[in-house]
Structure 1
Amino acid sequence: MSSTRTRWRLGLTATALLVASTVVPGPARADADDVTDYAITVHPERSDAKIDDTMYGVFFEDINRAADGGLYPELVQNRSFEYSTADNSSYTPLTSWTVSGTARAVSDDGRLDARNRTYLALDGGSSVTNAGYNTGIRVESGKAYDFSVWARADASTPLTVTLRDAEGTLAEARRLTVRGGWARYRARFTPDRTTSTGRLAVAAEGAVALDMISLLPRDTYKGHGLRKDLAEKIAALHPGFVRFPGGCLVNTGSMQGYDEASGYQRKRAYQWKDTVGPVEQRATNANFWGYNQSYGLGYYEYFQFAEDVGAMPLPVVPALVTGCGQNKAVDDDTLLQRHIQDTLDLIEFANGPVTSEWGARRARMGHPRPFHLTHLEVGNEENLPREFFTRFEKFRTAVEAAYPDVTVISNAGPDDSGSTFDTAWQLNRDANVDMVDEHYYNSPQWFLQNNDRYDSYDRNGPKVFLGEYASGGNTFKNALSEAAYMTGLERNADVVKLASYAPLLANEDYVQWRPDMIWFNNHASWGSADYEVQKLFMNNVGDRVVPSTATGTPTLNGPLSGAVGLSTWATTAAYDDVSVTGADGGTLLGDDFGGDASQWTHTGGGSWSVQDGQYVQTDVAAENTMVTAGDPAWHDYDLHVKAIKKSGKEGFLVAFGVKDTGNYYWWNLGGWNNTTSAVEQAVDGGKSSLISKPGSIETGRAYDVDIKIRGRQVTLYLDGQEWGSFTDDKPAEPFRQVVTRDAKSGDVVVKVVNAQAAAARTAIDLGGAKVAPEARVTTLAAGPEAVNSETATPVAPVTSTLEGVADRFTYTFPANSVTFLRIRQR
């Protein structure tokens, strides 16, 4: 995109005036002071990048309890009594259960099977009641729910199963008689009332063993066992692919395998073979995100769901290198070879004939036809690029030898830049890898500044899979910045072949990560503002990019300015000899803490005090304990600090350019569990890394930290040696556009993001194209802080018809809006 830096407040340019005089304008104009003028020029006679049908997809990870109690609609929590303090300190085998009488969790040779390690021994006259998820078990009047339990009893033993809430019985009780060894017993409930606070109880008249107590809705998405409202919201996106099952839960854990002799080992990496076959034979595993996952939603269900929504399945397998802050490479060639073979078996499970071992397993589960797997990813966000790539090459070699039509995807670590990113990309380029997965979570400002990120990527190098990205919030402001960025993804569709926002789902009562695209509880679900943006783009992709240019919004960047600050994150630290000197040599601040700390303002958490001539933060658990000093108008200065880490997980932080609690820069030394140092910029609370390097901070050692600011250039020194530098001068352009052609409909789709408070009166030149006089308009417009919720949807699409369309016309794009104009070519 080319842009100019001229703003017209008083009217249109001469060309635009000529255009405006011959057409019917778009929406009514705002007052002149609230309007910024732009021009978009389209070149319909030319075509740029082809856009694949798989361009946009979704990424599912079992985070925020997205699976159990969510997309996998099991209503019973801890149905197989496998919760354990080994997995979560607050867990016991009876978590979510209430016992009346006598019940014992038992793990012995009498268990149901090797992977269901624990069962419940219930004495006669006793009962257990399950509380479900969120506020309780959700059932709806007139709908059917299937109950099942695996049970055994030495003598014929009646069970009574009830479904009720505080107001009374929800459905007629069911009686089952258990006889002999382990067997599955079933019943069906049809409630006559709707509730979100139900409880399921099982009472025994005699001694009995119980396992896998389950209550599932009969009405599921396409009858394939997934929660209908969540699956329908995902399907409404029309995703081109589904990436699963993670994420950090793929490449973390002990990396140990299942051992039939010793039993299932806890806290191991996600392995697909644990998740297929009869559900009662699937393992329950500790999830990286702090809770247990039942694997009721397994690889078969993922493949089936991808097929049901018309998407390409894209599984991720572990590479025996842990990422997500753990940073460990497993050196065990036997284990590595087993994982490689498991990956080959996975492809056979997806694509193999019913005469093959794993193709037969798929057929027995109900799907004799292959799932047509074409892409597979190895690893996720590794911070050890060389160790990862050594292993990746072995996976790729094995897969290409056996399945040459399957694309094996590599990755570039957890950040958008830095030494890990650069090393990973160089290894991928040198080895001619087909596709590289990039991940980054940055501030809205970063997304507005980096629309051109992929403009300069090598067109002949590896393609990009943007597997995870988000702007750090669920307000419309966040969604606008992502929409602006997506115009750059589409413009570079010859490089960026796949892209997915992350994470996909969040249960509002069990949140480990924000933001998230779709939110839910046990009775409702709603799409965020980000969901509405993703849906609009994913349903209006087009087949090819049509070249276009637009004018831009001028920005006036003065010098980087702000006060200074000190902070810690999960550490205790001491600071001394703070000085701020102006470029002219004058002293702006000096503090050796020989007295008090009256020059400093405490804006964060933690516990600060002056001790022995140092300023010390002593709360090892506190995060972002910022204290600040100075004037937000300071600029062109030198900051010196002496810092000592005293204890804790990380290093220390020195801030500069501090405007307020949400807007500042800081040098994070020894962050990310003391593995990386980076300069981060916070804008309205959302942070982005500007420069990063691997490195750790020693406990007890005094470091000299110096930061030099000249204009918008920042140079950083550690112990007198230059550590790095950057210039923060990229404009955050609020007006972005891309144009695509939809061959099926014959439409040209003009997609415009106006992420500012002023309306954008725009002269649109379609380059002489013959077009219909009407266009279909879809608009998302709301206040920048608007948030969708269960009870309100301020960010929702509005469709209308625009008349008076010609090859030249004007349209005023509302303030804070995303607008798609579908214009039919004749």
Structure 2
Amino acid sequence: MHRTHALLSALLAASLLVAVPGSGAAVETDYTLRVDTTRTGPSIDDSMYGVFFEDINRAADGGLYAELVQNRSFEYDPADNAGYTGLTSWAPHSGTVDVADDDARLNERNRRYLKLGLPAGVINSGYNSGIAVTKGQHYDFSVWARADRTARLTATVTDPAGTPLGDPVRVDVRGDGWTRYTGTIRAKRSTTTGRLLVTGDGTGTLRLDMVSLLPRDTFKGHGLRRDLAEKIAALKPGFVRFPGGCLVNTGSHHGYDAPDYERRRSYQWKDTIGPVEQRATNWNFWGYNQSYGLGYFEYFQFAEDIGAMPLPVVPALVTGCGQNRATDDPALLRRHIQDTLDLVEFANGPADSTWGRKRAEMGHPEPFKLTHLAVGNEENLPDEFFARFTEFRAAINAKYPDIVVVSNSGPDDAGGTFDRLWQLNRQAGVQMVDEHYYNSPSWFLENNDRYDSYDRNGPKVFLGEYASQDNTFFNALSEAAFMTGLERNADVVKLASYAPLLANEDYVQWRPDMIWFNNHASWGSASYEVQKLFMTNVGDHVVPSTATATPSTRTPITGAIGLSTWATAASYDDVTVTGASGETLFSDDFSGGDSRWTKSGRGTWNVVNGAYVQSDAAAEDTLVTAGDRSWQNYTLNVKATKQSGREGFLVAFGVQDTGNHYWWNLGGWNNTQSAVEKAAGGGKSTLISDGTRVDTGRTYDVRIEVRGRHVALFLDGRKWGEFTDDRVAEPFRQVVTRDTATGELVVKVVNAQGSPARTRVELGVPVSASARATVLQGLPDDVNTEFTQPIRPSTGQVRVASTFTHTFPPHSVTFLRIRSRS
């Protein structure tokens, strides 16, 4: 099959309701786009589109923070990651090398150091394949050291064989008190596999800490990796949300607070400022350590450097991101509220205030002009979160009434938590609510009108995290189609940021991501190119417009059945499928084995005592399937029992394959809720959900009735819920804005289908004869990589008029900047 149509065919095979063109790959679909230039739509704030930075995928250390030495202070610990030791990324070169933690330490927050019995040496391998250096560039070396006898310290960059790649730094370490020593290495050869070799000559003991190698050429001289920072700056973001997401509000085995020297302290902004050698090194929710060399001061400074509004997120003392715990300690809550007030003072206070002085001492006497601050992220306990949020908001507004305090609506685009939090936010008159969702491309094509019905007088929306669940061009096209709806509703959606921002290709915890990199190169994904096109062509206000729709094909939900588990052992029995007229399509009581079921290869499935058992409580997505993919209008019955594990069980229907199906997820998300999810092209979206949990050892009667595109679900004979999946995955979307500075109409059209879209454009006003066109076009499964970027903008001139016809290419995003003559 030609890959231009592969994804569209997969969507059709999954029984989705999809808008489709006429037959034939080259068929042009006729559309009409009418622009009402006599009216003015919502204004679009300069800050509407921004970026969300979280230290995930090694986005900070080994990424945006330009430090080239990994584990520079020897604080890596197996309590943080089972594979860590104090010498992770280090290797002895010679002599006696030990990591020590005793009274000779640098300070209480930097407890461990390297102890060398001279003569001795160590090698650091950096991140990725090694330390990357470029011929002719300068690299600043520094180290904190002490010696019981004078020692000669030498540092140089070598290749893996030990050959020096630049002139070494040589310093004499004198005295047994901690002193910072510095020098510069100029690279004589380029490499991506370099090593930092540090040796000590002499006798006695040499102690080292905070071993650092930073390129001198950083973004605006502020310590950030230039190519990554420049790619972010090129987006011209209106805001920077930092420092996370899940990184911020998840607790630890110490809870939310611990002495400074304890491991796994929760993320607290005060740990991240001041001299870098006095900042904590801490466990990261995403499985590695963070040095805090990139801290709150650097985040504020970076936002200022790129002309963006800073938008920090502070913990609400209620966990999210799949965890469910609320801290009930009034004193701790008061302390965190005070820390947040101190944060505002750090950002905005005069240089002679307590925390403004600390900012000034770090080199920035002028305020950072903080206007927005978010409390919490993706909390799963809505009432507990909102009670604490209310206390934060009251304290902040009492002292700083001009600060917009941002709340949130949980981790999903719908469901019980979402509905409850929106109810609480509306009742309390919250100014702005942060929504998050990661869904399939079809969801984004189906939900362009999501914000059309939002209350214009209610809280404004901050879409703080969203993405289609892959990095192909088709994912980016679906996001572009959705973004036209964001702009059309700019009076409700005031801020929006794709997430996550950065991913080191060798340390990936999450995908998709906007910008990818390794130790020497970086490249924007297809989604980056879409975001950049929208973010640099926003306009000042919407110009009302309408477009005709693509003819749609309405087919029933069609597919086989399936059983699955996720981090849970469960058993199933008495599976029956009956047709709408009562005829038996399938029946299995597992008295004859499991030969009628197709396994995915995940999990351990066996017939045990007349039931079908998945016994691996750690395995995920263990889907097994049976039946006919052409089934429609049927009823599925099954008995399900959880045996052990974190979650419940999953019963699938409308199954075409492992990436295209529906399933009823009972006891999902660590057994905190239940939902029906739709998988399309491998990405999932939630259709309905509630707080149903699953008891271990209890047998549940599950019944699913599929009628056309309507589904009713019954648990132990009682209706649990129902839905009609009748949204259209419309591939042709548009929005028009006006750039008042240039006098241009910006016509933005997304054609996410495999056929050209011949379109009659009616502007209704005299315009210049030609317009500048910027186009992103490619095959739907195109992916940008380090070595090839098939998705890049092309620009040119096109003929236009008050009314004209333009054919928008298949699988494309087109922006026309048309100068009005009226």
TM range, smaller chain: over 0.9
What is residue 532 of structure 1 aligned with on the other side?
529
Q: In 2, Cα distance between the equivalents of 1:45 and 1:496?
A: 24
Q: Does 1:781 align with 2:774?
A: no
CA contact 1:257–1:265 (8 Å) conserved in 2: no
What is residue 330 of structure 2 aligned with on the other side?
333
What is residue 62 of structure 1 aligned with on the other side?
55
Indicate the SS of the match to 1:455.
coil
What is residue 307 of structure 2 aligned with on the other side?
310
Q: Which moved more, 1:564-573 or 1:783-792?
A: 564-573
Displacement of 1:674:
1.5
Deviations 1:259-318 (A, max 9, x none): 6xx542221221100000000000000000000000000000000000011000000000
484, 488, 492: which one aligns with 2:481: 484
Indicate the SS of the match to 1:102.
strand
What is residue 239 of structure 2 aligned with on the other side?
241
What is residue 19 of structure 1 aligned with on the other side?
none
What is residue 71 of structure 2 aligned with on the other side?
78
CA contact 1:529–1:787 (8 Å) conserved in 2: yes
What is residue 289 of structure 1 aligned with on the other side?
286
Deviations 1:8-55 (A, max 9, x none): 969xxxxxxxxxxxxxxxxxxxx9952111000000111010000000
Structure 1 pair 143–611 and aligned structure 2 pair: CA distance change class (3 A): same
Indicate the SS of the match to 1:383.
coil
Displacement of 1:605:
1.2
Displacement of 1:110:
1.5
What is residue 680 of structure 2 aligned with on the other side?
683
26, 29, 33: which one aligns with 1:40: 33
Q: Does 1:152 align with 2:164?
A: no
Displacement of 1:558:
1.4
What is residue 91 of structure 2 aligned with on the other side?
98
What is residue 417 of structure 1 aligned with on the other side?
414
What is residue 381 of structure 2 aligned with on the other side?
384
102, 111, 116: which one aligns with 1:122: 116
Q: Which moved more, 1:120-129 or 1:450-459?
A: 120-129
809, 813, 817: which one aligns with 1:814: 809
Deviations 1:366-415 (A, max 9, x none): 11111100000000000111101111111111111111111000000000
Displacement of 1:752:
0.3
What is residue 277 of structure 2 aligned with on the other side?
280
CA contact 2:145–2:180 (8 Å) conserved in 1: yes
Please list every run of 5 or more consecutive structure 1 residues that lacks an aligned counterpart in the other structure: 11-30
Structure 1 pair 162–9 and aligned structure 2 pair: CA distance change class (3 A): closer
1:483-522 alignment, distance < 5 Å: 483-522=480-519
1:286-685 alignment, distance < 5 Å: 286-685=283-682
What is residue 789 of structure 2 aligned with on the other side?
793
Deviations 1:640-694 (A, max 9, x none): 0101111222111100000112110001111111212111101011111111112
Q: In 1, Cα distance between the equivalents of 2:604 and 2:219?
A: 52
Deviations 1:542-585 (A, max 9, x none): 00000000000121111111100011111111110000011100
Q: Tell me which amino acid in the other structure corresponds to 2:807.
A: T
Displacement of 1:166:
2.9
What is residue 224 of structure 2 aligned with on the other side?
226
Q: Does 1:825 align with 2:785?
A: no
Q: In 2, Cα distance between the equivalents of 1:49 and 1:43?
A: 13
Indicate the SS of the match to 2:397.
helix
CA contact 2:375–2:389 (8 Å) conserved in 1: yes
What is residue 87 of structure 1 aligned with on the other side?
80
Q: In 2, Cα distance between the equivalents of 1:615 and 1:316?
A: 46
Please list every run of 5 or more consecutive structure 2 residues that lacks an aligned counterpart in the other structure: 1-17
CA contact 1:7–1:37 (8 Å) conserved in 2: no
Q: Tell me which amino acid in the other structure corresponds to 2:61.
A: D
What is residue 18 of structure 1 aligned with on the other side?
none
Q: In 2, Cα distance between the equivalents of 1:510 and 1:500?
A: 22
Deviations 1:351-371 (A, max 9, x none): 111110111111110111111
Indicate the SS of the match to 2:233.
helix
1:3-18 alignment, distance < 5 Å: none
Indicate the SS of the match to 1:708.
strand
Deviations 1:726-769 (A, max 9, x none): 100000000000000001111100000000001000000002x1
Q: Tell me which amino acid in the other structure corresponds to 1:681.
A: K
What is residue 197 of structure 1 aligned with on the other side?
193
Structure 1 pair 32–91 and aligned structure 2 pair: CA distance change class (3 A): closer
What is residue 51 of structure 1 aligned with on the other side?
44
Displacement of 1:696:
2.1
Q: In 2, Cα distance between the equivalents of 1:534 and 1:384?
A: 32
Q: Tell me which amino acid in the other structure corresponds to 2:212.
A: S
Structure 1 pair 177–7 and aligned structure 2 pair: CA distance change class (3 A): closer
CA contact 2:156–2:185 (8 Å) conserved in 1: no
Q: Does 1:112 align with 2:106?
A: yes
Q: Which moved more, 1:210-219 or 1:108-117?
A: 108-117
Identity value in percent: 68
Q: In 1, Cα distance between the equivalents of 2:526 and 2:538?
A: 19
CA contact 1:252–1:268 (8 Å) conserved in 2: no
What is residue 15 of structure 1 aligned with on the other side?
none
Deviations 1:108-130 (A, max 9, x none): 12110110011111110111110
CA contact 2:635–2:706 (8 Å) conserved in 1: yes
Displacement of 1:256:
5.5
Q: In 2, Cα distance between the equivalents of 1:258 and 1:753?
A: 48
Displacement of 1:161:
1.3
Q: Tell me which amino acid in the other structure corresponds to 1:184.
A: R
CA contact 2:63–2:504 (8 Å) conserved in 1: yes
Q: In 2, Cα distance between the equivalents of 1:650 and 1:414?
A: 17
794, 798, 805: which one aligns with 1:802: 798
Q: In 2, Cα distance between the equivalents of 1:364 and 1:770?
A: 58
Indicate the SS of the match to 1:160.
strand
Q: Which runs of 4+ in 1 moved over 4 A?
A: 5-10, 255-259
Q: In 1, Cα distance between the equivalents of 2:596 and 2:248?
A: 48
Indicate the SS of the match to 1:328.
coil
What is residue 214 of structure 1 aligned with on the other side?
212
CA contact 1:63–1:506 (8 Å) conserved in 2: yes
248, 253, 276: which one aligns with 1:250: 248
What is residue 171 of structure 2 aligned with on the other side?
176
What is residue 137 of structure 2 aligned with on the other side?
143
CA contact 1:258–1:264 (8 Å) conserved in 2: no
Q: Which moved more, 1:334-343 or 1:688-697?
A: 688-697
Instruction: Please give the TM-score of this superposition, normalised by the length of structure 1.
Output: 0.95
Displacement of 1:101:
2.2
Structure 1 pair 8–266 and aligned structure 2 pair: CA distance change class (3 A): closer
